[in-house]
Copies of this chain bind each other. A is one copy, B any other.
Amino acid sequence: MSAVLSTLRSTDFMAWREARQAAVEQALCDGVPSEAPAGLGDAMRYAVLDGGKRLRPLLVLATSETLGGQPLAAMRAACAVELIHAYSLVHDDMPCMDNDVLRRGKPTVHVQFGEAQALLAGDALQALAFELLVPDDGTVQPVMAARLCRLLALAAGAGGMAGGQAIDLASVGHALDQPALEAMHRQKTGALLQASVMMGAATAQVSPATEAHLAEYGACVGLAFQVVDDILDVTADSATLGKTAGKDAAADKPTFVSLMGLTSAQAYADRVLDQAHEALRCSGIARPDTLHALADWVGRRDS
Protein backbone atom coordinates (compact mmCIF):
# COMPACT_ATOMS: atom_id res chain seq x y z
CA MET A 1 0.00 0.00 0.00
CA SER A 2 3.00 2.29 0.18
CA ALA A 3 2.39 3.68 -3.31
CA VAL A 4 -1.20 4.41 -2.43
CA LEU A 5 -0.31 6.11 0.80
CA SER A 6 2.44 8.25 -0.65
CA THR A 7 1.75 11.86 -1.36
CA LEU A 8 3.38 14.28 -3.71
CA ARG A 9 6.12 16.42 -2.33
CA SER A 10 4.58 19.79 -1.63
CA THR A 11 6.78 21.48 -4.22
CA ASP A 12 5.59 19.00 -6.86
CA PHE A 13 1.97 19.64 -5.94
CA MET A 14 2.55 23.38 -6.04
CA ALA A 15 4.05 23.09 -9.50
CA TRP A 16 1.13 20.94 -10.67
CA ARG A 17 -1.38 23.36 -9.17
CA GLU A 18 0.18 26.47 -10.64
CA ALA A 19 0.43 24.92 -14.08
CA ARG A 20 -3.22 23.85 -13.99
CA GLN A 21 -4.38 27.19 -12.59
CA ALA A 22 -2.64 28.93 -15.47
CA ALA A 23 -4.17 26.54 -18.00
CA VAL A 24 -7.64 27.06 -16.54
CA GLU A 25 -7.15 30.82 -16.59
CA GLN A 26 -6.26 30.65 -20.26
CA ALA A 27 -9.19 28.38 -21.09
CA LEU A 28 -11.59 30.68 -19.25
CA CYS A 29 -10.09 33.68 -21.01
CA ASP A 30 -10.70 31.94 -24.34
CA GLY A 31 -14.15 30.68 -23.34
CA VAL A 32 -15.81 33.77 -21.88
CA PRO A 33 -16.68 36.05 -24.77
CA SER A 34 -15.45 39.61 -24.74
CA GLU A 35 -17.73 40.47 -27.63
CA ALA A 36 -21.00 39.98 -25.72
CA PRO A 37 -23.10 43.08 -26.27
CA ALA A 38 -23.64 46.26 -24.26
CA GLY A 39 -20.93 45.63 -21.69
CA LEU A 40 -22.25 42.19 -20.76
CA GLY A 41 -19.07 40.49 -21.88
CA ASP A 42 -16.99 42.86 -19.77
CA ALA A 43 -19.07 42.07 -16.69
CA MET A 44 -18.84 38.34 -17.35
CA ARG A 45 -15.07 38.45 -17.78
CA TYR A 46 -14.66 40.65 -14.73
CA ALA A 47 -16.59 38.07 -12.71
CA VAL A 48 -14.53 35.14 -13.91
CA LEU A 49 -11.00 36.10 -14.86
CA ASP A 50 -7.90 36.81 -12.84
CA GLY A 51 -9.06 35.66 -9.47
CA GLY A 52 -9.95 32.75 -7.30
CA LYS A 53 -8.14 29.59 -6.33
CA ARG A 54 -9.82 27.60 -9.10
CA LEU A 55 -10.40 24.82 -6.58
CA ARG A 56 -13.30 23.30 -8.52
CA PRO A 57 -11.42 23.16 -11.82
CA LEU A 58 -8.44 21.66 -9.98
CA LEU A 59 -10.70 18.93 -8.59
CA VAL A 60 -12.03 18.18 -12.08
CA LEU A 61 -8.56 18.08 -13.61
CA ALA A 62 -6.92 16.12 -10.80
CA THR A 63 -9.66 13.48 -10.89
CA SER A 64 -9.59 13.23 -14.66
CA GLU A 65 -5.79 13.03 -14.85
CA THR A 66 -5.66 10.47 -12.05
CA LEU A 67 -8.12 8.26 -13.92
CA GLY A 68 -6.65 8.82 -17.40
CA GLY A 69 -9.67 10.80 -18.60
CA GLN A 70 -10.12 12.84 -21.77
CA PRO A 71 -8.08 16.05 -21.31
CA LEU A 72 -10.13 18.29 -23.60
CA ALA A 73 -13.41 17.21 -22.02
CA ALA A 74 -11.89 17.67 -18.58
CA MET A 75 -10.81 21.23 -19.33
CA ARG A 76 -14.28 22.07 -20.60
CA ALA A 77 -15.80 20.55 -17.47
CA ALA A 78 -13.30 22.46 -15.32
CA CYS A 79 -14.30 25.75 -16.92
CA ALA A 80 -18.01 24.93 -16.76
CA VAL A 81 -17.97 24.24 -13.05
CA GLU A 82 -15.97 27.41 -12.43
CA LEU A 83 -18.50 29.46 -14.40
CA ILE A 84 -21.30 28.10 -12.22
CA HIS A 85 -19.26 29.00 -9.15
CA ALA A 86 -18.51 32.46 -10.52
CA TYR A 87 -22.14 33.19 -11.39
CA SER A 88 -23.23 32.10 -7.90
CA LEU A 89 -20.78 34.57 -6.35
CA VAL A 90 -22.06 37.40 -8.55
CA HIS A 91 -25.67 36.75 -7.55
CA ASP A 92 -24.80 35.98 -3.94
CA ASP A 93 -23.02 39.33 -3.57
CA MET A 94 -26.01 41.34 -4.80
CA PRO A 95 -27.80 43.69 -2.40
CA CYS A 96 -30.87 41.46 -2.13
CA MET A 97 -28.65 38.56 -1.03
CA ASP A 98 -25.44 39.15 0.96
CA ASN A 99 -24.96 42.74 -0.19
CA ASP A 100 -21.20 42.43 -0.34
CA VAL A 101 -18.93 44.99 -1.96
CA LEU A 102 -15.58 43.17 -1.99
CA ARG A 103 -14.70 39.89 -3.72
CA ARG A 104 -11.25 38.58 -4.57
CA GLY A 105 -9.93 41.97 -3.50
CA LYS A 106 -11.98 43.84 -6.09
CA PRO A 107 -15.34 45.63 -6.04
CA THR A 108 -18.10 43.07 -6.60
CA VAL A 109 -19.71 42.89 -10.03
CA HIS A 110 -22.84 44.87 -9.13
CA VAL A 111 -20.69 47.60 -7.56
CA GLN A 112 -18.60 47.80 -10.72
CA PHE A 113 -21.29 47.34 -13.39
CA GLY A 114 -24.65 47.94 -11.68
CA GLU A 115 -27.16 45.45 -10.35
CA ALA A 116 -29.00 44.79 -13.60
CA GLN A 117 -25.80 43.97 -15.46
CA ALA A 118 -24.64 41.77 -12.57
CA LEU A 119 -27.90 39.85 -12.67
CA LEU A 120 -27.60 39.33 -16.44
CA ALA A 121 -23.90 38.46 -16.27
CA GLY A 122 -24.66 35.73 -13.72
CA ASP A 123 -27.47 34.39 -15.87
CA ALA A 124 -25.30 34.38 -18.97
CA LEU A 125 -22.44 32.67 -17.14
CA GLN A 126 -24.74 29.83 -16.14
CA ALA A 127 -25.86 29.36 -19.75
CA LEU A 128 -22.25 29.51 -20.92
CA ALA A 129 -21.30 26.76 -18.46
CA PHE A 130 -23.67 24.35 -20.18
CA GLU A 131 -22.69 25.59 -23.61
CA LEU A 132 -19.05 24.71 -22.92
CA LEU A 133 -20.02 21.12 -22.15
CA VAL A 134 -21.73 20.53 -25.50
CA PRO A 135 -19.31 21.78 -28.15
CA ASP A 136 -19.86 20.99 -31.79
CA ASP A 137 -16.14 20.48 -32.41
CA GLY A 138 -16.06 16.81 -31.43
CA THR A 139 -13.95 17.39 -28.31
CA VAL A 140 -16.62 15.91 -26.03
CA GLN A 141 -18.50 12.80 -27.09
CA PRO A 142 -22.29 13.17 -26.74
CA VAL A 143 -22.63 10.44 -24.09
CA MET A 144 -19.97 12.15 -21.97
CA ALA A 145 -21.41 15.61 -22.66
CA ALA A 146 -24.90 14.56 -21.57
CA ARG A 147 -23.51 12.99 -18.39
CA LEU A 148 -21.47 16.12 -17.61
CA CYS A 149 -24.50 18.35 -18.17
CA ARG A 150 -26.59 16.19 -15.88
CA LEU A 151 -24.00 16.25 -13.07
CA LEU A 152 -23.61 20.01 -13.37
CA ALA A 153 -27.34 20.76 -13.57
CA LEU A 154 -28.11 18.62 -10.53
CA ALA A 155 -25.32 20.23 -8.51
CA ALA A 156 -26.29 23.77 -9.49
CA GLY A 157 -30.05 23.56 -9.10
CA ALA A 158 -32.71 23.35 -6.41
CA GLY A 159 -31.39 20.02 -5.11
CA GLY A 160 -27.86 21.43 -4.96
CA MET A 161 -26.32 24.88 -4.76
CA ALA A 162 -29.42 27.03 -5.30
CA GLY A 163 -31.37 24.98 -2.77
CA GLY A 164 -28.54 25.31 -0.27
CA GLN A 165 -28.55 29.06 -0.71
CA ALA A 166 -32.30 29.11 -0.05
CA ILE A 167 -31.72 27.20 3.19
CA ASP A 168 -28.90 29.59 4.06
CA LEU A 169 -31.18 32.60 3.54
CA ALA A 170 -33.89 31.06 5.67
CA SER A 171 -31.41 30.16 8.43
CA VAL A 172 -30.23 33.68 9.30
CA GLY A 173 -31.02 34.37 12.92
CA HIS A 174 -32.19 30.79 13.50
CA ALA A 175 -30.47 28.20 15.64
CA LEU A 176 -29.24 25.38 13.39
CA ASP A 177 -27.74 22.27 14.95
CA GLN A 178 -24.69 20.67 13.36
CA PRO A 179 -26.60 18.15 11.20
CA ALA A 180 -28.78 20.95 9.80
CA LEU A 181 -25.72 23.14 9.18
CA GLU A 182 -23.97 20.28 7.38
CA ALA A 183 -27.07 19.53 5.32
CA MET A 184 -27.20 23.17 4.25
CA HIS A 185 -23.53 23.26 3.28
CA ARG A 186 -23.75 19.87 1.57
CA GLN A 187 -26.04 21.62 -0.90
CA LYS A 188 -24.73 25.17 -0.88
CA THR A 189 -21.04 24.53 -1.48
CA GLY A 190 -20.64 20.76 -1.19
CA ALA A 191 -22.74 19.78 -4.19
CA LEU A 192 -20.62 21.71 -6.68
CA LEU A 193 -17.32 20.60 -5.13
CA GLN A 194 -18.44 16.99 -5.18
CA ALA A 195 -19.75 17.41 -8.73
CA SER A 196 -16.31 18.68 -9.73
CA VAL A 197 -14.84 15.34 -8.69
CA MET A 198 -17.65 13.39 -10.35
CA MET A 199 -17.33 15.38 -13.56
CA GLY A 200 -13.63 14.63 -13.62
CA ALA A 201 -14.52 10.96 -13.19
CA ALA A 202 -17.11 11.23 -15.98
CA THR A 203 -14.34 12.12 -18.43
CA ALA A 204 -12.86 8.66 -17.83
CA GLN A 205 -13.94 5.03 -17.56
CA VAL A 206 -14.47 4.24 -13.91
CA SER A 207 -16.14 1.42 -11.98
CA PRO A 208 -19.22 2.15 -9.87
CA ALA A 209 -17.26 1.21 -6.74
CA THR A 210 -14.46 3.66 -7.48
CA GLU A 211 -17.06 6.27 -8.37
CA ALA A 212 -18.71 5.80 -4.97
CA HIS A 213 -15.39 6.29 -3.17
CA LEU A 214 -14.71 9.39 -5.23
CA ALA A 215 -18.16 10.69 -4.31
CA GLU A 216 -17.23 10.24 -0.65
CA TYR A 217 -13.89 11.97 -1.24
CA GLY A 218 -15.70 14.85 -2.94
CA ALA A 219 -18.21 15.15 -0.11
CA CYS A 220 -15.42 15.25 2.48
CA VAL A 221 -13.44 17.85 0.55
CA GLY A 222 -16.62 19.91 0.31
CA LEU A 223 -17.27 19.71 4.03
CA ALA A 224 -13.63 20.43 4.93
CA PHE A 225 -13.72 23.42 2.61
CA GLN A 226 -16.70 24.87 4.44
CA VAL A 227 -15.42 24.24 7.95
CA VAL A 228 -12.14 25.95 7.06
CA ASP A 229 -14.10 28.77 5.40
CA ASP A 230 -15.91 29.37 8.68
CA ILE A 231 -12.62 29.26 10.59
CA LEU A 232 -10.98 31.76 8.25
CA ASP A 233 -13.99 34.05 8.55
CA VAL A 234 -12.97 34.67 12.17
CA THR A 235 -9.18 34.21 12.02
CA ALA A 236 -8.18 35.94 8.77
CA ASP A 237 -8.52 39.56 7.75
CA SER A 238 -10.30 40.91 4.68
CA ALA A 239 -7.07 41.66 2.83
CA THR A 240 -5.91 38.05 3.13
CA LEU A 241 -9.30 36.63 2.17
CA GLY A 242 -9.96 39.11 -0.62
CA LYS A 243 -13.51 39.38 0.70
CA THR A 244 -15.15 40.86 3.76
CA ALA A 245 -14.03 38.92 6.86
CA GLY A 246 -16.18 38.44 9.94
CA LYS A 247 -19.29 38.74 7.83
CA ASP A 248 -21.04 35.56 8.88
CA ALA A 249 -20.71 36.40 12.56
CA ALA A 250 -21.92 39.94 11.90
CA ALA A 251 -24.92 38.60 9.98
CA ASP A 252 -25.73 36.21 12.82
CA LYS A 253 -25.34 33.27 10.45
CA PRO A 254 -24.76 29.88 12.05
CA THR A 255 -21.25 28.57 11.32
CA PHE A 256 -19.14 25.62 12.41
CA VAL A 257 -17.19 28.02 14.64
CA SER A 258 -20.28 29.53 16.25
CA LEU A 259 -21.60 26.04 16.86
CA MET A 260 -18.47 24.16 17.96
CA GLY A 261 -15.96 26.82 18.94
CA LEU A 262 -12.73 27.50 17.07
CA THR A 263 -10.60 24.67 18.45
CA SER A 264 -13.21 21.98 17.88
CA ALA A 265 -13.89 23.30 14.41
CA GLN A 266 -10.19 22.98 13.57
CA ALA A 267 -10.10 19.44 14.92
CA TYR A 268 -13.24 18.64 12.93
CA ALA A 269 -11.68 19.92 9.72
CA ASP A 270 -8.74 17.57 10.33
CA ARG A 271 -11.03 14.59 10.91
CA VAL A 272 -12.98 15.27 7.72
CA LEU A 273 -9.69 15.57 5.86
CA ASP A 274 -8.69 12.14 7.18
CA GLN A 275 -11.96 10.77 5.85
CA ALA A 276 -11.19 12.21 2.43
CA HIS A 277 -7.81 10.48 2.46
CA GLU A 278 -9.43 7.24 3.65
CA ALA A 279 -11.90 7.36 0.76
CA LEU A 280 -8.95 7.60 -1.63
CA ARG A 281 -7.22 4.67 0.08
CA CYS A 282 -10.36 2.56 -0.36
CA SER A 283 -10.95 3.63 -3.94
CA GLY A 284 -8.50 1.26 -5.57
CA ILE A 285 -7.04 4.16 -7.54
CA ALA A 286 -3.38 3.42 -8.21
CA ARG A 287 -1.87 6.87 -7.75
CA PRO A 288 -4.18 9.20 -5.85
CA ASP A 289 -1.31 11.50 -4.88
CA THR A 290 -2.62 14.67 -6.49
CA LEU A 291 -6.11 14.18 -5.11
CA HIS A 292 -4.59 13.52 -1.68
CA ALA A 293 -2.53 16.70 -1.83
CA LEU A 294 -5.47 18.69 -3.15
CA ALA A 295 -7.56 17.70 -0.13
CA ASP A 296 -4.72 18.82 2.13
CA TRP A 297 -4.55 22.11 0.30
CA VAL A 298 -8.27 22.67 0.89
CA GLY A 299 -8.18 21.64 4.53
CA ARG A 300 -5.05 23.53 5.49
CA ARG A 301 -5.36 26.68 3.43
CA ASP A 302 -4.99 30.11 5.02
CA SER A 303 -7.15 32.15 2.64
Contacts and interface: CB of A to CB of B under 8 A. Distances in A.
A257 to B, nearest CB: 23
Interface stretch (A7-15, A149-157, A225-233, A276-284): A149-157
Chain A interface category by residue count:
35 or more
A118 to B, nearest CB: 8
Interface stretch (A53-61, A121-129, A207-215): A121-129
Interface stretch (A16-24, A91-99, A288-296): A91-99
A126 B128 contact: no
A63 interface: no
Contact of A149 (B114, B130, B169): B130
A119 B94 contact: yes
A271 B157 CA distance: 42
A116 interface: yes
A134 interface: yes
Name which of A124, A134, A142 has the most chain B CB atoms within 10 A of its CB.
Answer: A134
Interface in A11-59: 33, 36-41, 44
A128 B145 contact: no
Given A38-B170, A166-B36, A170-B38, A134 B159 contact: no
Given A96-B119, A119-B97, A143-B142, A159 B126 contact: no
A182 interface: no
A88 B149 CA distance: 20
Contact of A169 (B116, B122, B134): B116
Given A136-B150, A142-B143, A158 B115 contact: no
Given A130-B153, A142-B142, A153-B127, A120 B39 contact: no
A122 to B, nearest CB: 7
Nearest to A36: B158
Contacts of A115: 96
Contacts of A123: 87-88, 91, 122-123, 126, 156, 162
A130 B130 contact: yes
Interface in A195-225: none
Given A116-B169, A143-B142, A159 B36 contact: yes
A246 interface: no
A195 to B, nearest CB: 11
A163 interface: yes
Given A143-B142, A163-B38, A128 B149 contact: no
Nearest to A149: B134
